[in-house]
C-alpha cells in the first residue's frame, strides 16, 4: 500500500497527531509511530510535524506506507488473559469502561508484548471502538479507564490536559506500601522529574530541577511490621511519579525492582510473600458533560496484596 493522505474530521479536532496515528495505525508499535514523526515521513499540510502538535478539522495528514501485522499474523490473546480481563471489569456504561488491571499486564502492546489490556479488550469486543484514556505501569494494578465513545475520550483528555503543571479534573488516588516508618500526617513532595533513556531504550526517571514539575501527597493510613501503608494522591501524572517520589523521600515502594530497596524487597518477599510491586490505583474521580455527570470509580486491592497486609499486622 502506498502513502495515504487523510483529511481530519471534526470529531478529531484538538487531538494530538501522535495519538491520532496510534489510533489510525492500529497494531503499530508506539516506537514506529514516533520514528515516522521524527524522521519527517508523516507530513501535516505538506510540512514536518512534531508529536505533540494538535490537529484541526480539515488538516491534511500524509501517512507513509506502513506494513502492519494482520490480526491473523499476531494471533489472539491467550484465553487466560482474555478471561482475566473480562473478570476485571469493575464499571461500565454507554461511554466508559473501567477495569481493575492485574499487575503484570501492560496497558498496551509494544516492546515485545503482543497483547496489552487494550488489545485484549478489543479482542473481547471486536465490534466496539475502544481507546485507552490513560496508562498504568505494567507492574501497577488498579483502575484503567477505556473510552467507548470518541466524545468521552475527547472530554477526558481535556480534563487530563495540564494547566500550569497540574493535572486537571481527574483526581487519582493510589494505595502503596512504603518501606520504613513514614511520619504522621501528609507529606507533600514537589520535585520535578526528568525522563531519560538508558542503553537499550529503557526509561529511567530521576528528580531533576530541569524536569517537569511533579506533585504527590503521601498520607500514612497505618503502620504494619515496620512498613507504612499509605494513600497517595497525585496532582500531576508523570512517568513513574509515585515510585520516584517515594524513593526521593527515603521510603521506596515495597517490591519495586526498579527504584526500590533490594534488601527490603527480598525480606518482604521471603517473609511476607510479596512477589510484586505494592502500588495500586484505587480511585478515580471526575465529571463529564461539563461537570453535570460525576463519576467515582473504585477498584479493590487484589487478594495477594491483602494477604501481605495481613501477614504484616
Residues involved in catalysis:
137
Pairing of strands 215-224, 186-190: antiparallel
Picking from 216, 220, 223, the residue whose alpha carbon sits closest to that of residue 185 is: 220
Give me the DSSP letters along 84-134: HHHHTEEEE-SSEEEEEEPTT--SS-BTTBS--HHHHHHHH-TTS--EESS
Picking from 265, 262, 178, 253, the residue whose alpha carbon sits closest to that of residue 223 is: 178
- Gap between the Cα atoms of 233 and 116, Å rounded: 26
Picking from 99, 95, 96, the residue whose alpha carbon sits closest to that of residue 117 is: 99
- Residue 212 in 3-state DSSP? strand
CB 235 within 8 A of CB 245: no
Picking from 306, 283, 232, 305, the residue whose alpha carbon sits closest to that of residue 91 is: 283
CB 254 within 8 A of CB 268: yes
Q: Which residues contact 122 (CB under 8 A, 6 or more apart)?
A: 128, 130
Region of 40 (left: φ > 0; alpha: ψ -120 to 50; beta: rest) is left
Amino acid at each position: 500500500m502506498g502513502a495515504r493522505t487523510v483529511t481530519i474530521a471534526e470529531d478529531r479536532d484538538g487531538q494530538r497527531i501522535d495519538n491520532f496515528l496510534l489510533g489510525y495505525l492500529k497494531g503499530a508499535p508506539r516506537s514506529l509511530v514516533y520514528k515516522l514523526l521524527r524522521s519527517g515521513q508523516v507530513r501535516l499540510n505538506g510540512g514536518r510535524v512534531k508529536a505533540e502538535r494538535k490537529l484541526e478539522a480539515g488538516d491534511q495528514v500524509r501517512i507513509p506506507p506502513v506494513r502492519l501485522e494482520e490480526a491473523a499474523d499476531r494471533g489472539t490473546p491467550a484465553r487466560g488473559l482474555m478471561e482475566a480481563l473480562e473478570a476485571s471489569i469493575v464499571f461500565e456504561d454507554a461511554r466508559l469502561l473501567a477495569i481493575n488491571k492485574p499487575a503484570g499486564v501492560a496497558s498496551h502492546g509494544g516492546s515485545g508484548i503482543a497483547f496489552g489490556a487494550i488489545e485484549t479488550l478489543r479482542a473481547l469486543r471486536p465490534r466496539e471502538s475502544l481507546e485507552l484514556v490513560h496508562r498504568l505501569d505494567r507492574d501497577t494494578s488498579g483502575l484503567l479507564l477505556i473510552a467507548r465513545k470518541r466524545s468521552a475520550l475527547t472530554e477526558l483528555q481535556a480534563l487530563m490536559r495540564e494547566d500550569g503543571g497540574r493535572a486537571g479534573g481527574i483526581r487519582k488516588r493510589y494505595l502503596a506500601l512504603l518501606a520504613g516508618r513514614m511520619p504522621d500526617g501528609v507529606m507533600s513532595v514537589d520535585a520535578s522529574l526528568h525522563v531519560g533513556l538508558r542503553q537499550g531504550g529503557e526509561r529511567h526517571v530521576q528528580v531533576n530541577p530541569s524536569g517537569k514539575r511533579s506533585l504527590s501527597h503521601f498520607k500514612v493510613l497505618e503502620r504494619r511490621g515496620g512498613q507504612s501503608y499509605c494513600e497517595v494522591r497525585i496532582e500531576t501524572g508523570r512517568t513513574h511519579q509515585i515510585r520516584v517520589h517515594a524513593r526521593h523521600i527515603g521510603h521506596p515502594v515495597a517490591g519495586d525492582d526498579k527504584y526500590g530497596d533490594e534488601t527490603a524487597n527480598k525480606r518482604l518477599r521471603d517473609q511476607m510473600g510479596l512477589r510484586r510491586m505494592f502500588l495500586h490505583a484505587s480511585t478515580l474521580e471526575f465529571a463529564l458533560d461539563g461537570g453535570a455527570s460525576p463519576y467515582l470509580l473504585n477498584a479493590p486491592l487484589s487478594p495477594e496484596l491483602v494477604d501481605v497486609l495481613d501477614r504484616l499486622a
